[in-house]
Amino acid sequence: MLTSRPLYNVPVFQIILLPQKDYWDWVRACREFVLTFGAYLAQDPRAAGLYMAPRQVISFPRTPGGYAESDDIEAWLQREYPEVRLDPIEADSPTGLEQALAHRIADDDRFGQKQRPFFLLWPTEFPVITQRFGANPRIYTRFGMPGHEGVDIRALLNTKVFACADGQVYRVENNPKAHAYGIHVRIRHRDGYRTIYGHLAKTLVKEGEPVTGAQVIGLADATGASVGHHLHLSLKKDQATELGQTNYPQDIIDPTPFLVWPEPAWPKGIPNPDWPMGKCLVGAHGRIGAALDEEDLLVIEQARLEAVVVSLQDSAQTVERLRSRRPAMFLMSRLTTDLASEALSPIQFVAGVQRKLRELYQAEIRYFELCPNPNLQDEGWGRSWQNGQAFASWFAEAASRLKDRFPELKLGFPGLSPGEPVPGKKADPLQFLEAADEATLLADWLGVNCYWTDLRGMESLAGGRLYQEYRLRYPAKLLMITEFGNPSIELPAKPRAGQYLEFYRQVRDQPAIAAAFCFAISASEGFPGLAWIRAGNGDREIPTLIGGRTF
């Protein structure tokens, strides 16, 4: 693999799949492109397809006989990896590929969309697709559609929505209840293309008005048949259904290949004036299920930790002991109680945590995570709230009551349990996050939980790079990596320690990430794959390696 900049600094993960024959000639042809855009190179189609779907693009030269898997590598990739975006390049030699990529560099056109007769500029300020074209066929079949008839794109309430291309407005709907798209705008473009922008809060154009690409045409909301703020974008092409160019009715086609993905606007430094450190602190959770003991305190010193999550079981005296050993240490805590037994209202929750909160607050701890992992059944999902939207309301009321009593609190929207949903046990984390937008915007900071079980997972947007997904969704919010780790029981301590050290190094200078807390130093019971130390076990591989870091 060849790359010029860290993977986590790009919103879309691009792999250029190259023919096996004369591979290094093809590699040299890609040199300037890789140095410009940070793409990865591969010669194994299976490895390329499995790397990081679905936020991934495989670019490849259309070269007859170039790939052992198939003479038609595009059809093969579509069949084997239907969720990965494909970017075929018309080039049958390394020289042809070098020339094609040079045009892309000159046009700042990473995926070649601008070289097409028609393309779509990105219509919101957030480079995130929250529901792809064709998704959830079981939901949309009742409407006569094979699947989702457009793409849903991240857009917060009242943020700008832009026209994707030059054209003329042919319909403006200002009645939020008149259509499933709610308030929306429709634009006719060249060559029979039409775009629809749905679920708006307000339209800013009139029927018959000419518009230019990137012109603001409305503000985002969730009007019509929508849950959570976003933009629904549909693309149509005249006669596409009649001519067999799509299996959708009403001339609907997939807008994804036409979209020009923007690079994210990374924040310059830390946007929160209450976080002056300017770097991501090396941190860990204390003792899970019990208060910190002397052995834990020794590990904190040995690892040279800069930040620690103390529990509600820790006393003010423990806090003082921590600060006496490392005066500049940042401390935070989690506000949680038994949410598995019965439903708790925000009033009941606040009553249950406020005594211990007061003790830590008086010890000058100000940052608290409110109800960690709320998409888990054991942490309140299905009892105290049914979904992300209900949790947002619960969070808002609990936060208001807590800040009335403790006005200097910095409350964080909690990290969510990552991974696939489990019926009755865990809700899908990104769907839960999307529905809980109102709480995420209200919170002083956002928690992110990053877990993986192998090195590929450590590099994945769904695993070790999940903070990148949050940064794209919330570009101006302070983040805390509230949990991270590799829970694999089979992994020996030394390679585990190496992964943790690398993770700390990767996030050290990431913009607006305050601290990364490994889970955890120790546990009163359980967590055999995660606890740094265990009772009666003198192994100190993890704190030793972390403590010996050079940053």
391-425 per-position pLDDT tens digit: 999 999 999 999 999 999 999 999 999 999 999 99
Give the domain CATH number at 166: 2.70.70.10
Q: Are 53 and 144 in a shared domain?
A: no
Same structural domain for residues 210 and 142? yes
Does any domain span residue 266?
no
Residues 6 or more apart from 550 whose CB is under 8 A from it?
Answer: none
Please report where in the chains the tokens 């695993």 appear, as a residue.
463
Tell me the β-bridge partners of 283: 307, 517
Residue with tokens 């390049």: 89
State which of 67, 84, 115 marks the end of a domain: 115
State how many domains the chain has. Answer: 3
Reading phi first (left if > 0) and then psi (alpha if -120 to 50, else beta), residue 251 is in left
Whether 188 and 239 map to the same domain: the answer is yes
pLDDT of residue 370: 97
pTM of the model: 0.74
Domain containing residue 501: CATH number: 3.20.20.80
- With respect to residue 124, please indicate whether it lies within any of the assigned structural domains: no
Enumerate residue ranges in the chain where pLDDT < 50: 1-10, 53-54, 266-273, 536
Neighbours of 69 (CB within 10 A): 12
End-to-end Cα spacing for the chain:
26
Reading the block at residue 172, the tokens are 């403006």
The torsion angles phi and psi of 82, rounded to 5 degrees, stand at -65, -20
Q: What share of the chain is helix, strand, coil (3-state, %, to 5)?
A: 30, 25, 45
Question: Is residue 161 in some structural domain?
Answer: yes
Same domain, 13 and 47: yes
Residue whose entry in the numeric block shows the structure tokens 């990290």: 415
User: Three-state DSSP class for 473?
Assistant: helix
Task: For residue 163, tell me if it sits in a domain.
Answer: yes
Same domain, 388 and 480: yes
Q: What is the DSSP letter of 58?
A: E
Reading the block at residue 229, the tokens are 């703020």
DSSP 342: S
Domain end marker among 87, 115, 143? 115
Q: What is the 3-state secondary structure (H, E, C) of 106-163?
A: HCCCCCCHHHCCCCEECCCCCCCEEECCCCCHHHHHHHCCCCCCCEEEECCCCCEEEC
Residue 282 C-alpha from the chain's centroid: 21
- Torsion sign over Cα 132, 136, 139, 140: positive
Q: What is the pLDDT of residue 253?
A: 96
**Residue 331: closest CA among 272, 443, 439, 410:** 410
Quick check: helix, strand or coil at residue 322? helix
Specify the pLDDT at position 235: 98
> CA 107, CA 50: separation in Å to the nearest integer?
29
Range of 220's domain? 129-260
Q: What is the pLDDT of residue 270?
A: 42
Q: Indicate if 438 and 314 belong to the same structural domain.
A: yes
The residue type found at 168 is Q
pLDDT for residue 53: 45
Report if residue 275 sits inside a domain.
no
> What per-residue confidence (pLDDT) applies to 538?
52
Cα 325 from chain centroid? 36
Residue 103's domain is classified under what CATH number?
Answer: 3.40.50
Instruction: Select from 364, 365, 385 the least CA-distant residue to 374.
Output: 385
CA angle, residues 221, 226, 227, in degrees to nearest 5:
90
